[in-house]
Structure 1
Amino acid sequence: MLRGLLVLIILVGCSCETEEKLSEFSSHPTTVKARENNTVLLPCYLNTLSNDAAYAIAVRWYKDNDLIADSSNESVAVPERHVLWENGSLEITVVQPSDTGEYTCEIERPEPWGPIRQKHAIEVLHSPSVDPYPPTGFLQVRLGEEVRMSCKGTGVPYPIITWHYQGEEMQLLDHRELLKFTASDRRLAGTYECAAANGVGEPARAAIELKITYPPEVTTTRAWMHTAPGHRAHIECKVAADPLATVTWLKGEVQVPIDSRVLALVDGDKHTLLIRNVQRSDFGIYTCRAVNDLGQGEQHIQLSGVPNPGVFKKTEEKNQNAKSSYTLIWEVDSYTPIIEYNLWFRPYMPRSGANRPNWTKLTIPTEYSSGPVYSKSYTIKGLKEKTIYEALLVSRNRYGWSKPSPILRFATAGADLNEDMVTTVQVNVQDNIIPLEVMSSAIRKEISLCTLTILLLKFLI
């Protein structure tokens, strides 16, 4: 009797195992990626030997745990565009982004078997969108403050964010939504554009205009202006500022009186002090001063009657064959007649730590000329053969001595002088070599008012 009971239990156990196998799904869990307006069919098939529909008591579908269809309960309204077929499959037509989610098929079976479930998912692919911050598309910070702007992308699949500045792609280390940096330079202002792309449709774009406020920055193309009594002078500066700055012209620390002879003109960011019929009392140092709520900036410009620095001109080919002489030609711009020139020359020695040769000064008188361009040639004799020299020039009119000319390098026959050496070079502050005794008291006073660091005069050994 006991043996028979044991067999019965085993048989029952085998029967249950067989039925469990027969109850498995023939469909497989899947994730469907579909474009908008397509049709999606989610399967829910039992693997039965007879494929008898009565084998299932009921089929239910859930979306994200919410019941949306029940074959055994007619009171559960199937959503619009959804169809529950007799075989248990769920069809969704004209799919929309809102249909994205997780779908669970549940089949209720007769006793002794319980319900069985299978999960699917739908991802409705749709083109990206982007939400910028600030949402107004405008951001204002002060110079030196932190900049924070972002673009939040949405779409399926999730979009990749790229950034452009003034139309050029920014080479960032990653595809970040947040841009954070310091407004260390006012030139960082401008249009920043983010683009969200996911391969579906066109990328979504948003623009953010960054404005950086800053104190005035004042520049000038000419910090020294030559003129003469009776002429007209234009003293100019450019002012960059945000917010806009108030510009004032000063001579020394006194505001320049504006009248019919002296006019203050404005053209965009360019500010001009126009002086008609210049008088000698107009000579001096002028300040273009700009002020806004964030600070001030200024630029000094000197108006002087002394000549412009001389310019050496290219000489004839025969100079290259002279063994012990060289002819120099120069021009000087001056509204007032040139009285004399000082020509300085010495053997050229590259900077190598060795002592440099002394300069030789030649005082050269002038001939009558109507100006304002004064030309002169002079032949230096007694030079060493096969030697490279350097020369510079200063000129004097009734108002004093000019600034030094750029240095010219030249050579006597046989010296190896390359093209770089032939061209003139500007005098550095350390190379300003005009001794004080060649300067009139008038020019000394003018220089002291301007800045001694620009025309620091000393002997070079």
Structure 2
Amino acid sequence: MFPKVFILSVLLSVCFLNLFDCAVPVITEFLSVPTTVKARENNSVLLPCYLNTGSSGGIINIKEDGAFATTIKWYKNKDLLVDSSDPDLHLPDGHMLWSNGSLEIFRVQPEDTGEYVCEIIRPKPWSTVKQTHAIEVMHPPSVSPFPPTGFLQVKLGEEVRISCTPSGVPYPIVSWNFQNEELKLIDHREMLKFTASDRYLAGVYECSAVNGVGEAATAQIELNIIYPPELMTSRSWIHTAPTHRAQLECKVSADPQAMVTWLKGEVPVPLDSRVVSLVDGDKYTLLIRNVQKSDFGIYTCRAINELGQGEITIQLSGVPNPGVFKKTDDNALAGKNSYKLIWEVDSYTPIIEYNLWFRLYRPKTGLSKPDWTKLTIPTEHNSGPVYSKAYTIKGLKEGTIYEALLVSRNRYGWSKPSPILRFGTLGADVSNDLATPVQIHTQDDSNIIPLDLTASSSCIHSGSVLITLLISVITCNNIIFVG
């Protein structure tokens, strides 16, 4: 009988010389293999630990049958759990050591997660052997918010740091919502860090932790951003007249709440039964009953809190509201060499006269704009507060686009300019995003208006327009177009 060591050497030589195709058996001390067990809570886990003590399936083993275990020990995270040779060392509750050396844990809990080492002591000359296993007890996620109170207050412009620290096995993935809308982040970060550059970043931030075990865990953090007063008004210019009633309104946003004062110039407005200050939520109103001429002027709504102040001005005036050109069917207004303009002006006191300005329209080409032509147009006797007027400009070029604006005067002065009206005579090419008519705000850089709109009538005209006049009477005081 050949020794087993000799037989193994022969087999290895044959394989090395490539005389036969063969697989060299792997000789191990254990029949069990290292295992990492992922288990849900309350499941049972069996960690195997038994020796390879003999032949199995024709595989030659160099061990002798005497390589049996004399003592079996189990460690958890290097702490001794059980020693089969020590009857006084009792296993923790829910643990059992089987006769083959395996360790079973019943109803595992998160605290059972860890590294488990099986140590087998054998009789001489056999050495002590060890095998390592691991248990991961999977459990649903949880999150701990920061700040722990779930509330954070910062000043406008300060840095914001909020976070959610998750726990659970497997380690959870964190995502964020703001005001019930998902935040599109480039990664699943646990901390949000940003600058409170806008007060509208305040609100409820919610983190959600998911690990595929049980339900998602969530936590909310409310962010409050305090800021100095911000003011706005829907009307910065208000038309009125003596004996009428006027309301000046400003909306104030501030945190902490601001103290609001109305001033005329730099003097606080004296309040009485005729002039009353009203508050409705964040809307502050200065109500003036039975307006007097002395009430005309510029008012300031000023708000102050501990972080600063803000203010907005509102003008109360008796001059007319800016005129508005009426938008109607252009085919009914445009002639071959004429165009009929229709406008309305709101004024509590009678309109005395209108100044109508017009010129050729020239798109942005880098060239200077044509000069304006001014017409002084008398008003008609009608009762306000809405004054209407129609006027036909004649002597215009066929198929040409013009632009016009209007100012009006009553006893208190001239109105602000109307929006610019763009119009065309018959045959005009209204392509390239031109609409007929269309009103353009007079502050548009491409439509610079004359500096002295309210000057007395004079011989201001564009020669290219006057050459084509059908009928005109020119005086040094006015230009009269037949219409």
TM-score in same-fold range (> 0.5):
yes
Measured at CA, do residues 394 and 53 of structure 1 come closer, stay the same or move farther in structure 2, by a change above 3 Å? farther
- In structure 2, the partner of 1:276 is 289
CA contact (8 A) 1:320 1:411 kept: no
- TM-superposed CA distance for 1:315, in Å, is 3.6
CA offset at residue 101 of structure 1? 0.3
Aligned positions of 1:193-204 closer than 5 A: 193-204=206-217
* Structure 1, 358-367 or 250-259: larger mean CA deviation: 358-367
Q: Is contact 1:315-1:328 (8 Å) kept?
A: no
Q: Are 2:49 and 1:44 equivalent residues in the alignment?
A: yes
Residue 148 (structure 1) aligns with: 161
**In 2, distance between residues paired with 1:197 and 1:316?**
63
Aligned residue in 2 for 1:451: none
Aligned equivalents of 1:176, 1:135: Cα separation in 2: 18
Residue 4 of structure 1 is matched in structure 2 by: none
Counterpart position of 2:462? none
Cα distance in 2 for partners of 1:12, 1:130 equals 60
d(CA) in 2 for partners of 1:367, 1:50: 123
Q: Residues 395 and 402 of structure 1 are in contact (CA less than 8 Å); yes or no, is this contact kept in structure 2?
A: yes
| 1:416 counterpart residue number | 429
The range that moved more, 294-303 or 420-429, is 420-429
| Match among 138, 141, 156 for residue 125 of structure 1 | 138
1:27 paired residue number: 32
Letter in 1 for 2:439: T
Greater shift, 165-174 or 288-297, is seen at 165-174
Cα distance in 2 for partners of 1:366, 1:178 equals 69
| Structure 2 Cα separation of the partners of residues 74 and 354 of structure 1 | 107
Alignment of 1:306-317 (within 5 A): 306-317=319-330
* Aligned AA (2:443): N
2-side partners of 1:70 and 1:439: how far apart? 114
Contact 1:404 1:434 in 2 (8 A): no
Supply the distance in 2 between the matched residues of 1:195 and 1:49 (Cα, whole angstroms): 54
Against the structure 1 CA distance between its residues 124 and 316, is the aligned structure 2 distance closer, same or farther, given a 3 Å change threshold?
A: closer
Alpha-carbon distance in 2 for matches of 1:373, 1:332: 6
Paired residue for 2:342? 329
In 2, are the aligned partners of 1:22 and 1:49 still within 8 Å (CA)?
no
Work out whether residues 205 and 222 of structure 2, in 8 Å CA contact, stay in contact via their aligned partners in 1: yes
Amino acid at match of 2:32: S
Match of 1:45, as an amino acid? Y
Residue 441 (structure 2) aligns with: 426
**Percent identity of paired positions between Structure 1 and Structure 2:** 67
Query: 1:254-303: per-residue Cα shift (whole Å, max 9, x none)?
Result: 00011111111111111111111111100000000000001000001000
Q: Secondary structure at the match of 1:187?
A: helix
RMSD of equivalent CA atoms? 2.3
Q: Give secondary structure in 1 for the equivalent of 2:416.
A: coil
Quick one: structure 1 residues 50 and 85, their matched pair in 2 at CA, closer, same or farther if it must change by over 3 Å? farther
Q: 2:229, 2:309 within 8 Å by CA — same for their partners in 1?
A: yes
What TM-score does the superposition give when structure 2 sets the normalisation length?
A: 0.85
1:455 counterpart residue number: none
Cα displacement (A) at 1:314: 2.3
**Structure 2 counterpart of 1:423, one-letter code:** V
The structure-2 alpha-carbon separation of the partners of 1:113 and 1:400, relative to structure 1 and needing over 3 Å to count, comes to: same
Q: 2:455 aligns with which of 405, 425, 438?
A: 438
Q: In structure 2, what is the Cα distance between the partners aligned to 1:423 and 1:155? A: 65
- Worse-matched range after superposition: 74-83 or 167-176: 167-176
Question: In the alignment, which residue of structure 2 is the partner of 1:448?
Answer: none
CA contact (8 A) 1:23 1:48 kept: no
Equivalent residue of 1:184, what SS? coil
When structure 1 is superposed on structure 2, of 389-398 and 348-357 the one drifting more is: 348-357
Is the helix fraction higher in 1 or 2?
1
The aligned runs of 1:105-254 (5 Å cut-off) are 105-254=118-267
Query: For residues 336 and 355 of structure 2, what CA distance do their matches in structure 1 show?
Result: 24
Change in 2 beyond 3 A, CA 1:66/1:305: same
Counterpart mapping for 1:359-374 below 5 A? 359-374=372-387
Structure 1 CA distance, aligned partners of 2:95 and 2:297? 89
2:105 pairs, out of 92, 110, 118, with 92
In structure 2, give the amino acid aligned to 1:378: Y
What CA distance in whole angstroms lies between the structure 1 residues aligned with 2:35 and 2:88? 29
Equivalent residue pairs, number: 428
Counterpart of 1:335, as a letter, is Y
1:378 aligns with 2:391: yes
Aligned-pair CA distance for 1:358 = 1.3
Structure 2: which 5+ runs fail to align?
Answer: 10-25, 57-64, 458-483
- Partners in 2 of 1:43 and 1:359 — Cα distance? 100
State whether residues 315 and 327 of structure 1, in contact with CA within 8 Å, keep that contact through their aligned partners in structure 2.
no
Does the CA contact (< 8 Å) of 2:252 and 2:303 recur in 1?
yes
Change (3 A) 1:53 1:254: farther
How far apart are 1:422 and its partner, in Å?
2.4
Asked if the contact 1:22/1:48 (under 8 Å) is kept, the reply is: no
Whether the 8 Å CA contact 1:400–1:439 is kept in 2: the answer is no
Compared with structure 1, are the counterparts of its residues 321 and 364 closer, same or farther at alpha carbon in structure 2 (3 Å cutoff)? Answer: closer
Q: Secondary structure at the match of 1:98?
A: helix
1:395 to 408, 412, 419: 408
Could you tell me how far apart the structure 1 residues matched to 2:28 and 2:180 are?
61
CA distance 1:220–1:321, shift in 2 (3 Å): closer
Tell me how far apart the structure 2 counterparts of residues 243 and 315 of structure 1 sit (CA, whole Å). Answer: 50
Q: Provide the C-alpha distance between the structure 2 equivalents of 1:166 and 1:374, rounded to a whole number of angstroms.
A: 50
2:469 maps to none
- Name the amino acid aligned to 1:42: L
For the 8 Å contact 1:37–1:95, the answer to whether it is kept is yes
- Cross-structure match for 1:449: none
Give the direction of change, closer, same or farther, for the CA distance of 1:439–1:59 in structure 2 (3 Å limit).
farther
Give the SS at the match of 1:296. Answer: strand
Whole-angstrom CA distance in 2 between matches of 1:347 and 1:425: 15
TM-score norm. by structure 1 comes to 0.88
Looking at structure 1, the residues matched to 78 and 344 of structure 2 have their Cα atoms a distance apart, in angstroms, of 94
Whole-angstrom CA distance in 2 between matches of 1:190 and 1:339? 55
Deviation at 1:318, TM superposition (A): 4.4
User: Matched residues in 2 for 1:182 and 1:355: separation?
Assistant: 46
Q: How many angstroms does 1:89 deviate by?
A: 0.7
Q: State the partner residue of 1:59.
A: 72
Q: Is the 8 A contact 1:320 1:413 kept in 2?
A: no
- In the alignment, the residues of structure 2 paired with residue 242 and residue 289 of structure 1 have an alpha-carbon distance, to the nearest angstrom, of 15
Quick one: distance in 2 between partners of 1:58 and 1:316?
106
